[in-house]
Structure 1
Amino acid sequence: MHRGFTGMGLSELLKTAEVPKGSFYHYFRSKEAFGVAMLERYFEDYHQRLTVHFTHGEGNYRDRLLAYYQHTLTQFIEQGIISGCLTVKLTAEVCDLSEAMRAEMNKGAQRITALLAQALEDGRTEGSLAFDGHAAELAQVLYSLWLGANLQAKMSRCATALESALAHVRTLITAPAA
């Protein structure tokens, strides 16, 4: 999370994790194979956490969606960095270097986008959200908007992009008129 995938050599990774080289190669044929497995595990965990948040979180679906975005903004304001998001950390770094890792990141992002689409559709059905068009298209816009805002916040070390993105999310997923 701090040095990136290419910034940390395999020897240093194994030393830090206290894993013998032979044991590593028993499970992974290469550092790239390890990276794919790492991304697979990361996205599976992320998907599970979001599923729980969207289905059992506080408030209605609109509240839960906004809380999802607000959490990242709050975390950034408190820590001053984007932390814990492998997508933000690794997208630009590995997508041109490893086709297998790029494909795994894309697969994980598609699953998260599908989960967002389901939450949007459930919110529309529930009556807590109003938006034009298809939930899948809006989910892609929201994911892209938020990923871009995270990258800008990472570059500028300023919350402005996240605050602006959250304001746009609020207008895109309005509460229905009474």
Structure 2
Amino acid sequence: MSDRKNTDETRKRLLDHGVALMLMNGYRGAGLADILKAAQVPKGSFYYYFESKEAFGAEAIGHYLAPFLRRLTERLREPGKSGLDALAGYFRELAGELEANGFKGGCLLGNLMGEIADASPASREALKKGVDRYRDLLAEGLARAQTEGLARKDRSASAMADLLIDGWQGAMLRMKIEQSAAPLHAFIEETLLGYCAA
């Protein structure tokens, strides 16, 4: 195995375990020693892969978000589904996974927005980039639904997508305190499907 492949695999392992620990304990609660131990990487090796914990946190945001963006893209590309059906299916799938996981963790983006966005310029930039990419995909589905005559046209797809992000993050916070999927399903039925054309 090449040194480059070893380096890439170790880096990915650090990010995987770092994301898991940050979801459970927050950014500040995920210490470097805990991340290194979970990833089975020797102490002192962290700075070979990342220049700082702040740089690690910024990269972890993109690492965490990548599979969600892939999944949303796949849902939007499914043949025979309207834009609204694709979005509703995506959010229903996420709600089911959160419920199956006992409502733990929530969304790393939302968690970090509240914890470190105002303290870390690198993380704030990574969060903004991630939210913008998410918003653009949601807007793509909503624009398609507008073209299909299924979504209201008195608001732009981008503006509605921004509200979807805000509503989903709020629903996940309510989910955590209520230990219930009801806020997630209410978001899907009332906010997302509330965009249906009259």
Q: Offset of 1:113 from its aligned partner? A: 0.5
Tell me, in whole angstroms, the C-alpha distance in 1 between the residues paired with 2:192 and 2:112. Answer: 28
Paired residue for 2:93?
71
Paired residue for 1:119?
141
Q: Offset of 1:171 from its aligned partner? A: 4.3
Tell me, in whole angstroms, the C-alpha distance in 2 between the residues paired with 1:170 and 1:34. Answer: 33
Q: Offset of 1:117 from its aligned partner? A: 0.6
Tell me, in whole angstroms, the C-alpha distance in 2 between the residues paired with 1:90 and 1:157. Answer: 20
Tell me, in whole angstroms, the C-alpha distance in 2 between the residues paired with 1:142 and 1:165. Answer: 8
Tell me, in whole angstroms, the C-alpha distance in 2 between the residues paired with 1:54 and 1:63. Answer: 9
| Residues 53 and 64, structure 1, Cα contact 8 Å, conserved in 2 | yes
| 1:17 maps to 2:42 | no
Q: Would you say how many aligned residue pairs link Structure 1 and Structure 2?
A: 176
TM-score (norm 1): 0.86
Tell me, in whole angstroms, the C-alpha distance in 1 between the residues paired with 2:29 and 2:185. Answer: 30
Paired residue for 2:5?
none
| 1:92 maps to 2:114 | yes
TM-score (norm 2): 0.79
Tell me, in whole angstroms, the C-alpha distance in 2 between the residues paired with 1:20 and 1:80. Answer: 32
Gaps of 5+ in 1: none
Taking a change above 3 Å as real, the CA distance of residues 117 and 82 of structure 1, as seen in their structure-2 partners, is: farther
Paired residue for 1:42?
64
AA aligned opposite 1:81: F
In the TM superposition, structure 1's runs of 4+ consecutive aligned residues that sit over 6 Å from their partners are none
Taking only the aligned residue pairs, the percentage that are identical comes to 35
State the superposition RMSD in angstroms: 2.1
AA aligned opposite 1:38: A
Taking a change above 3 Å as real, the CA distance of residues 63 and 3 of structure 1, as seen in their structure-2 partners, is: same
Paired residue for 2:17?
none
Taking a change above 3 Å as real, the CA distance of residues 81 and 128 of structure 1, as seen in their structure-2 partners, is: same
Paired residue for 1:3?
25
Greater RCO, CA 8 A, separation 6+:
1
| Residues 99 and 181, structure 2, Cα contact 8 Å, conserved in 1 | yes
Q: Offset of 1:127 from its aligned partner? A: 3.4
Gaps of 5+ in 2: 1-22
